[in-house]
Structure 1
Amino acid sequence: MTTKKIFLPVLIGILAISAAACGNKQGEEQTGSVEEEEQNQSTYSNSIFLGDSVLDGLAEVLDDSRVISNAGATAQFAIEEVDQIVDKKPQDIFIMLGSDDILMPVDNPTEHSMTHYTELIEKLKEELPNVKIHVLSVTPVTEGAIKKEPRYKNIPDYNEALKDMTAAEKVDYIDLSPLFNNHQNLHADDGIHLKADFYPLLLDYIKKHSNIDEEDA
């Protein structure tokens, strides 16, 4: 099942944002045909998705054993999930973290996050030497969300640091910004989390921008 953990105590403020937003996603209908869903199940049958609450909705369109999403998760705390990932023996790991890292109460949240993100990737490489690691950029938020939480304006700079880190670690980086440029109104009411429509689009986008395909599954 999808992992749901609450990290305490330093992330209480982060969780307040995440928890409020999760309520905005309840009751939304998933889009996409049965055929598309079956194809995604096949394509990603040997994949694991690791992320924060922004990734929650993926478990509605993909086998939830493939999705590890934790409210308030950061790169630092995601290291705790390595053993669980190793047990699943995936061929591909897709990581989408950073939305909560940006809010960490430290002097330099981005630098702090990159240190732990690197540790996470290196630990995964050590435990799963043949796995393909794909790091997804932090999804944008709306102007309204930035007004409520100005630290979200640092998302572009964080993604640049993420791109540099993945290059240094020689793992795949997938920029999700074109997905949002091509599709409008993907955000939930809070302007941070995403509507059900986003997740089938995400899986299709990843297929086109990574080496994964049905032959790998």
Structure 2
Amino acid sequence: MKVQKKMMDITLIAMVALSVAACSTNGQPPASEMTRQAVDISTPEQTSYASQYQTSVFLGDSITEGLSYHDVLKDKNVLAGAGKTAEFALQDIDELVKRKPQHIFIQLGSDDILWPTDNPKEYSLSYYGQLIDRIKVRLPETSITILSVTPVTAEAEKAEPRYRNIGDYNEGLKELSSKVQVGFIDVSSIVSAHPDMYDADGIHFQAEFYPILLDYVKNELGRQKSAK
């Protein structure tokens, strides 16, 4: 019986190996990526940022999602996804309430400015305002800070001219933050200072960018607090 069981175990291992190999050749993540997604590997750096932002949630699109994708923050501290707009983020309020964050950082707009409407900025900011109002009602003790939309490379802007509106959109976010009385942090300067950290598409960022972003946000919050 022991020999039979051993043979069955060997057969099962072989089947798993073949399955992983098949996934890597059929448009699925390679084995190393699947392992990264399945196993929680905490580095000292991740532990540090996870501690600093343990009571925060970052709400945003695929750019914000990089915080958890690159293992800089835990999944519980990031509520983001590709294609998310201010309108779509309204669907996340129940989940935000469940997580009970003390601070919410919102970084939306990269997809909003591409929305097929006559005035994407006006359309988006109306929903952005609704989003903040609803968060305030459901989580009245939670601090809210808007983060500006990150600029793209010249090549990405050339490929999609609507990205030229990022600066104007960020001005709208700054005005909105003043109107609804929430925080605002313009992160454009750190992007300009680290142009080598873009991904190949010139829109998203490599893993090394996100610790810099979190350090900047922390320092800006401290500066703003001191200025009050």
TM-score when normalising by structure 1 = 0.81
Q: What is the aligned counterpart of 1:204 among 199, 215, 218?
A: 215
**Structural mapping, 1:1-217, within 5 Å:** 34-59=43-68, 60-211=71-222
- In the alignment, the residues of structure 2 paired with residue 181 and residue 44 of structure 1 have an alpha-carbon distance, to the nearest angstrom, of 24
The residue type paired with residue 49 of structure 2 is N
Structure 2 stretches lacking a partner, 5+ long: 1-28, 37-41, 224-228
The residue type paired with residue 89 of structure 1 is K
| Contact 2:62-2:84 within 8 A present in 1 as well | yes
The residue type paired with residue 77 of structure 1 is F
Deviation digits for residues 48-86 of structure 1 (CA, Å, limit 9, x no counterpart): 011001112100211111111111100000010000000
**Counterpart of 1:41 in 2: which secondary structure?**
helix
**Counterpart of 2:165 in 1: which secondary structure?**
helix
Runs of 4 or more above 3 Å deviation: 33-36
TM-score when normalising by structure 2 = 0.77
**Counterpart of 2:206 in 1: which secondary structure?**
coil
Q: Which structure: greater helix fraction? A: 2
Question: How far does residue 184 in structure 1 lie from its aligned partner after superposition?
Answer: 2.8
- In the alignment, the residues of structure 2 paired with residue 89 and residue 50 of structure 1 have an alpha-carbon distance, to the nearest angstrom, of 13
**How much is the aligned-residue C-alpha RMSD, in angstroms?**
2.0
| Contact 2:59-2:79 within 8 A present in 1 as well | yes
Deviation digits for residues 104-142 of structure 1 (CA, Å, limit 9, x no counterpart): 001100000110000000000000001000100000000
Which structure would you say has the larger RCO, counting Cα contacts within 8 Å and 6 or more residues apart?
Answer: 1
| Contact 2:45-2:72 within 8 A present in 1 as well | no
Question: How far does residue 211 in structure 1 lie from its aligned partner after superposition?
Answer: 4.6
Q: Rg bigger for which structure?
A: 2
Identity %: 48
**Counterpart of 1:55 in 2: which secondary structure?**
helix
- In the alignment, the residues of structure 2 paired with residue 167 and residue 64 of structure 1 have an alpha-carbon distance, to the nearest angstrom, of 30
**Counterpart of 1:185 in 2: which secondary structure?**
helix
